[in-house]
Amino acid sequence: MILVNTDYITGKEFEMLGLVKGSTIQTKNVGRDFTQSLKAFVGGELTAYNEMMNEARALATKRMVTEAMNLGADAVVNVRYASSEIMQGAAEVIVYGTAVKFRNQDDAG
């Protein structure tokens, strides 16, 4: 599955199948939350939160790709990510784009 953040794929002609999306809501581990709070006092990168958000983006992307595959898509164009706090300690990550099917299946590789 090809994923791009542009509205085109060089050398490919395609038809649009529709909007696809994936999302997840992640919460902070209480132990990690405590240690990251301590780190906030001294400064530096909050690596546990980076890991949590990377995992959330990966899961949301996987869900979007599954939805696109169910439509018979070869690619998803105009891929965008967004995140928001749902409640204290919980964040949603959503990814969305347009599922497309290549007109010439020989170009699908």
- Secondary structure of the chain: what % helix, strand, coil (to 5)? 35, 40, 25
Residues 26-46 pLDDT 10s: 886 645 555 555 555 566 676
Average pLDDT on 14-34 reads 82
Q: For residues 9 and 34, give the distance between their C-alpha atoms in angstroms, rounded to a whole number.
A: 45
User: How many domains does the chain contain in total?
Assistant: 1
- Alpha-carbon distance of 79 to 94, in angstroms, equals 10
The Cβ of residue 73 has, within 10 Å, a number of other Cβ atoms equal to 24
Residue 99's CATH number: 3.30.110.70
d(CA 36, CA 38): 5
Instruction: Give the domain extent around 33.
Output: 2-107
pLDDT > 90: percent of the chain = 62
Model confidence pLDDT, tens digit, residues 42-78:
666 767 778 888 999 999 999 999 999 999 999 999 9
